[in-house]
Chain A
């Protein structure tokens, strides 16, 4: 607990939240030399040049003022077209799309728009580190539901039923998942949709990695029958277009909910950065070929890493999407944190302990393969050497 005199000024809610376990690891890894990091949760590509150039141009033209609260209308129109073209879901650019500061802000305003104090949100774990704290900050109560490698980390519909109470309001989904890379198939989603409908739940579907799937065609949750009007879709430009630093995301959903989210956005954020919005517009209009190229490169590196892990005897389900593998390190007898720390100290390879993504992440580590082939191969050699010493 914080015991400094000024801590009395802090809200109880904020004090109840722990800093992310990733933070400690970051401090440790940053202090060391010669580290190969597989701990990075973002693409290793620089944003495509045409996108950067479009942003330059917008600045030269003097587009440095606010945009509409919901975002540039041209951008919302393109998002609407994109959602229809890529995922077969229709959203009106006028009232059903809000451009946000990253997908993270979209999740925040979605939760704040729908939660009353004490209402419960089912969070499928292992999950992105922000979900549970964001639920708490919005006054809700996160209810973790664990998934396991036996099921390829797929949520089983009956698990939702078990977690439901009379306070349950929202189910948070993330497919492809960070950290497991698991993709829910059309069939998986339809079975989840049945339970969602039966219990009248709202779904917040984080589909930020949707472009990065390698095996089956992707199904967006709102494209499942009867789900569009009970889903807030969250996406953005960070992963597919290699634009993490631009901080640009968006939310789509039924008008009433999106207008409520817009109210929060308008008072707390005003609008997403204008130069980033101009960049995003170019990404949607002329960026698909780059997405395909980058995706191809991730697919190849996924194959490289899966093969290497297999050779060193670390069992790992084949993740269908994102750029993470989530191998089991149980056979080493170490906790995920011990494993990650010792690997970093002995071989200077940074991975993220699975436990930071929730209880069911224990026994695993997250390795990002969004790094150069040369570094990946060297990292795999070092991990192999590390395993020999145990």
Chain B
């Protein structure tokens, strides 16, 4: 990856809605070049998608419940943790799966409508997978910061209008 590609990625990582023209002007390259780089990075799966960061607690009655589950597993011969991880991440309820160092193996994020729904998923789907030895479920009580964004930020411009 060259420095132009990295600069572009850093820009859209902060704001995925930046228009191609704006990106081009910020970087001092042409719009065509910008499109080419974006295409290339999408094709190479460096850019996997574009999503919005949403505070679901605002303006909706049916809030979502997120749990982070520490999962201990027995790795499968030949394929290690990957096959076990796959069996877990294929479930649409699962938002993230990471292989961890330390006292447990997989960290699994699950989103559901209610605590009961998440609980059902853990007891009926996750714990019953052959290689899973144990699970510890932690429910998220409040999100302060997610993906580098502070949820309740007071980010209005506090500067005086004109200054020397």
| Interface residues, chain A, with chain B CB atoms under 8 Å away | 20, 22, 25-26, 29-30, 35, 37, 39-42, 44, 128-130, 178, 296, 300-301, 303-304, 307-308, 350, 352, 371, 373, 377
Contact = CB atoms under 8 A, between A and B. Distances in A.
B27 A350 contact: no
B102 interface: no
A298 to B, nearest CB: 11
Given A40-B160, A303-B27, 11 more contacts: A20-B164, A30-B161, A37-B162, A44-B157, A178-B164, A300-B11, A300-B27, A304-B22, A350-B162, A373-B15, A377-B22
B163 A303 contact: no
Contacts of A308: 25
B26 interface: yes
B159 interface: yes
Interface residues of B, number: 16
Contacts of B25: 303-304, 307-308
Q: Is the interface of B mostly helix, strand, loop or mixed?
A: loop
Given A301-B26, A304-B25, A35 B163 contact: no
Contacts of A373: 15, 18, 22, 26
Interface in B106-164: 157, 159-164
A304 B29 CA distance: 10
Nearest to A25: B162
B162 A42 contact: no
Contacts, number: 61
Contacts of B159: 37, 40, 42, 44
B27 to A, nearest CB: 7
B34 to A, nearest CB: 13
A296 to B, nearest CB: 8
Contact of A29 (B22, B157, B161): B161
Given A300-B11, A373-B18, A26 B26 contact: no
B28 interface: yes
Contact of A37 (B11, B18, B161): B161
20 contacts: A20-B164, A22-B162, A22-B164, A26-B160, A26-B163, A30-B160, A37-B161, A39-B161, A40-B160, A41-B164, A42-B159, A129-B164, A300-B11, A300-B27, A304-B22, A304-B25, A304-B26, A350-B161, A373-B22, A377-B22
Contacts of A129: 164
Contacts of A25: 162
Query: What are the 3 A-B residue pairs with the smallest beta carbon separation, nearest first?
Result: A39-B162, A300-B26, A26-B162
Contacts of A35: 161
Nearest to B15: A373
Contacts of A296: 7
B52 to A, nearest CB: 16
A296 B161 CA distance: 24
A128 B164 contact: yes
Contacts of B157: 44, 371
A37 B160 CA distance: 9
B40 to A, nearest CB: 21
Contacts of A29: 161-162
